[in-house]
Amino acid sequence: MLELNQAAPNFVLYDAHENLHQLSDYRDQWLVIYFYPKDNTPGCTKEACALRDDHQAFANLKAQVVGISTDNSKSHLDFTAKQSLPFTLLADPEGKVSAAYGALFKLGPIKFCKRHSFIIDPTGKIAKIYRSVTPSLHSQKLLQDIEQLQKGN
């Protein structure tokens, strides 16, 4: 189980455009990693759109947002275009990264991400863990918590 102040598990995953991303790409900045079950479902759309609407506020805090699900890159490309998402979605079809973060739900052949989020500090350590998320309110909570963490509270 992951704990605060431990190094965030590394990831090497493809985005919607088949570009490779890894944790070290986000070094020296704040990073929100949010895991979500499935593209184009009601709760996931609500969460993604709230993060989209707050994109400038995250940028003002020098924070990047990255979404991860077990959907493939093509699904992410469609979801990103349909919802005009300005942040990166990463494909974890095998669920390895999701499992490393304790966010994978597996029932026989069915696997998907639980709705969990993490704030990673500029040194790559876990600063905040969210195991229970309300899709429509989560973006604002993330912004408040990043602001508090940056103030050292």
* pLDDT over 70 percentage in the chain: 99
* Band (29; pLDDT cuts 50, 70, 90): very high
What is the SS3 assignment for 99? helix
C-alpha distances in angstroms, 114 versus 54, 57, 106, 133, 142? 22, 25, 10, 10, 17
What single letter denotes the amino acid at residue 80? T
Q: What is the pTM of this model?
A: 0.96
Q: Which of 96-105, 122-131, 144-153 has the lowest mean pLDDT?
A: 144-153
Per-residue pLDDT of 51-75, as tens digits, reads: 999 999 999 999 999 999 999 999 9
Q: Which residue among the candidates 8, 13, 16, 44 is catalytic per the annotation?
A: 44
Answer whether 29's CB lies under 8 Å from 73's CB: no
Write out the two tokens for 72. Answer: 């493939």
**How do beta strands 30-35 and 63-69 pair?**
parallel
* Band (110; pLDDT cuts 50, 70, 90): confident
Going by C-alpha positions, the residue among 88, 10, 4, 8 that lies closest to residue 48 is 88
Predicted pLDDT at 152: 83
> Is residue 153 scored above 80 in pLDDT?
no
Q: Does residue 113 carry a catalytic annotation?
A: no
Per-residue pLDDT of 120-141, as tens digits, reads: 999 999 999 999 999 999 999 9
Instruction: Give the gyration radius of the chain's Cα atoms.
Output: 14
Mean pLDDT, rounded, of the chain: 96
- Class of 12-151 in CATH: alpha beta
